[in-house]
Amino acid sequence: MGIDIYMQWDKQSEDEKQGQILGFSIEGGFAGYLREAYHGAPYVTQFLVKEAFESDENETHIPCAVLRERLPEALKLHVQRHKDIYGETIRDTDPSARSFEDFVALAERLEAEGKNPTIVASY
């Protein structure tokens, strides 16, 4: 079990939707997919896209400026979570951490293209 975060956008192709099915990969930010296991807090997804968790529909638009502003703290949380929960020392340049950066960069690109990215939390 885990937390799945999907990004949806206007004119999203079927190939783009299928590209988000990554077998629960924690490195899918480039495709608009984030994954986090229920192994213990802090949960980076609940910090980065908290409005999706607060929404009655579990989905919302979050301005990219807000995501970009939260990203440095989200990366710190991710590194700390790996240390506390998994006993692993990783850096904020680790592929799993870069997934959060890729997710935010995709949202920024889509927003710039006028495609209205929406964040959906599934948990």
Give the per-residue pLDDT at 24. 86
7 pLDDT higher than 80: yes
pLDDT value, residue 65? 97
Residue 14 belongs to domain spanning: 2-122
Predicted TM-score of the model (pTM) = 0.94
Q: Is the per-residue pLDDT at 1 higher than 80?
A: no
Closest by CA to 8, choosing from 49, 54, 56, is: 49
Which is nearest to 7 in space by CA: 20, 22, 26? 20
Question: What's the chain's average pLDDT?
Answer: 95
Count up the domains in the chain and report the number: 1
Give the confidence band of 23 by pLDDT, cuts at 50, 70, 90: confident
User: pLDDT higher for 23 or 53?
Assistant: 53
DSSP assignment letter at 77: H
